[in-house]
Structure 1
Amino acid sequence: MSGPVIEVQDLHTRYGSRWVHQGIDFRVERGEVVALVGGSGSGKTTLLRQMIGLLQPARGSVRVFGESLFGGGPRRERALRRRFGVLFQHGALFSAFSVFDNIAFPLRELKLFSEAEIGDMVRLKLDQVELLPEHGRLMPAELSGGMVKRVALARALALEPELLLLDEPTAGLDPDLSDSFVRLIQQLDRELRLTVVLVTHDIATVSALATQVAVMEEGRILAFGSLDQIMHSEHPFICSFFHSDRGVPVEAS
């Protein structure tokens, strides 16, 4: 496929009378790992929600795989959404479902597979996120924070997506678990050749994963480029964000 995986043009988003985005232009090319960073209230999570179709823009457009997320009928919209997976910040697991059933949920919704096939696919996803088959019997309340993230990632990958969107993937994890989860994402990215967009405030995660960084502030993208390019920016907000004590400091090469 030619063209960007995600293309955002002249995006304006409003909650009531408050403008969240004011004229965002943004592209994600196939195979890139793009990190959206910025202060609280900068609009990065809202931008992620626009990319997965949870919000419609007040003005402008969001295209994924060259297609609008809205219009063309439910069948076309569902087919498009099956091409990407989402890891929400706190996992968003169904509390009444076992680990197995959480991962199986999107597969069962398709109504294309037998239960035996679904079982095989769930076990494969558990293995991909370095969990054991017996973990499938556990309930979300029995999981550690790190396991919740892995189960949620397995569910996001259940339909073999081409695009993976991650909202604060290491939030709430201690440094060791955070490092382990980042290594897992790196491994899956290499094996599955994904395109990835992640929202994060953690500079160490940006440094480890991102091929491109978009810095957001007050509903706009201040800068877009490699981490090295961003680190050499003289913009006051960017200097404050990347060279302060928030997260793990990064040294520009």
Structure 2
Amino acid sequence: MNGAPPVELCGIGTRFGRHWVLRGVDLTVQRGELLALVGGSGSGKTTMLRQIVGLLPPTEGEIKLFGESLHDGNRDELAARRRRFGMLFQHGALFSALNVFDNIAFPLREMRCLPEAEIRDLVFTKLGMVEIDRDAAWRMPAELSGGMIKRIALARALALDPELLLLDEPTAGLDPDRSAAFVTLIRTLHQALNLTVVFVTHDLDTLAALANRLAVLAEGRILATGSLDEVVQVDHPFIQRFFLSERSMHALRRGKGTY
């Protein structure tokens, strides 16, 4: 279904033991959006992100990607669907025993249909996309700074030219300058590659600079969706505490004005 939304969550509920983390969650992500999943610690943001990519099954409800149920289809159909999205994990999740080149090449080699020369060209292309010099291709993850790990993990997430990009705390652990540069990079790639981006963040500077729509999670449900200006108008105690404290307002103004 070419015109279908990249992500649809329909009645999603997630329970760990007797505790429901999410219950009755409905959310549609439209093509081209930069959607932020926002909430307090333990609100289910990362749980939802992992469910979208199939790493964690929901207890109830259905997830659709590009109009198709996440787990429907034969092996080839499932593989084709998975190639349409890429994910950047919070700490990069690079394979520690592989150098940078082989980390980015890994999903390309898993396809088992590309010659090594073409894989080499694609790896260097992806490194260029994330503004990393090709000399870094032979370094090991342990030799990299936090900012380089983020960029190389992003290059790997983009290796298969996905339409949907999912980011878990993309600026966590970065200093303000590197955080600003990484947000600028994501915005540039979003526009250049016509990506749909869904990201989890607790950083209000990143939120203000990157998102064009928010989904706010609390109490096991989505409290509000909309632009930042729309969300802060919602009369709910969590939203008032999260967005409208003096510290939060300062961060939001800084984020809007810096990037």
Q: TM-score range by the shorter chain?
A: over 0.9
Distance 2:143 2:76 in 1: 36
Aligned residues of 1:35 and 1:200 also touching (Cα < 8 A): yes
Matched, 1:190 2:191: yes
1:127-166 equivalent positions in 2, closer than 5 A: 127-166=128-167
Paired residue type of 2:33: E
Distance 1:50 1:15 in 2: 14
Paired residue type of 1:129: V
TM-score (norm 2): 0.95
Matched, 1:54 2:55: yes
Query: Following TM superposition, where does structure 1 have runs of at least 4 consecutive aligned residues deviating by more than 3 angstroms?
Result: none
For the aligned residues, what is the CA RMSD?
1.5
Paired residue type of 1:250: L
Paired-residue identity, %: 59
Aligned residues of 1:5 and 1:65 also touching (Cα < 8 A): yes
Give the superposition deviation at 1:243.
2.2
Give the superposition deviation at 1:231.
1.9
Give the superposition deviation at 1:246.
5.5
Gaps of 5+ in 1: none
Paired residue type of 2:251: P
Paired residue type of 2:187: Q
Aligned residues of 1:201 and 1:247 also touching (Cα < 8 A): no
Q: Partner of 2:152: helix, strand, or coil?
A: helix
Distance 2:141 2:227 in 1: 37
Q: Partner of 1:250: helix, strand, or coil?
A: helix
Give the superposition deviation at 1:239.
1.1
Matched, 1:250 2:252: yes
What is residue 231 of structure 1 aligned with on the other side? 232
Distance 2:179 2:249 in 1: 12
Once structures 1 and 2 are overlaid, which stretch shifts more, 51-60 or 38-47? 51-60
What is residue 7 of structure 1 aligned with on the other side? 8
Change (3 A) 1:99 1:246: farther
Matched, 1:215 2:216: yes
Give the superposition deviation at 1:55.
1.4
Paired residue type of 2:64: R
What is residue 72 of structure 2 aligned with on the other side? 71
TM-score (norm 1): 0.97
What is residue 113 of structure 1 aligned with on the other side? 114
Aligned residues of 1:204 and 1:248 also touching (Cα < 8 A): no
Distance 1:204 1:116 in 2: 41
Aligned residues of 1:44 and 1:216 also touching (Cα < 8 A): yes
Distance 2:227 2:249 in 1: 19
Distance 2:13 2:96 in 1: 35
What is residue 83 of structure 1 aligned with on the other side? 84
Give the superposition deviation at 1:102.
0.2
Aligned residues of 1:6 and 1:64 also touching (Cα < 8 A): yes
Distance 1:250 1:200 in 2: 13
Give the superposition deviation at 1:232.
2.1
- Deviation string, structure 1 residues 113-153 (Cα, Å, up to 9, x no partner): 11110000000000000001110000000000000000000
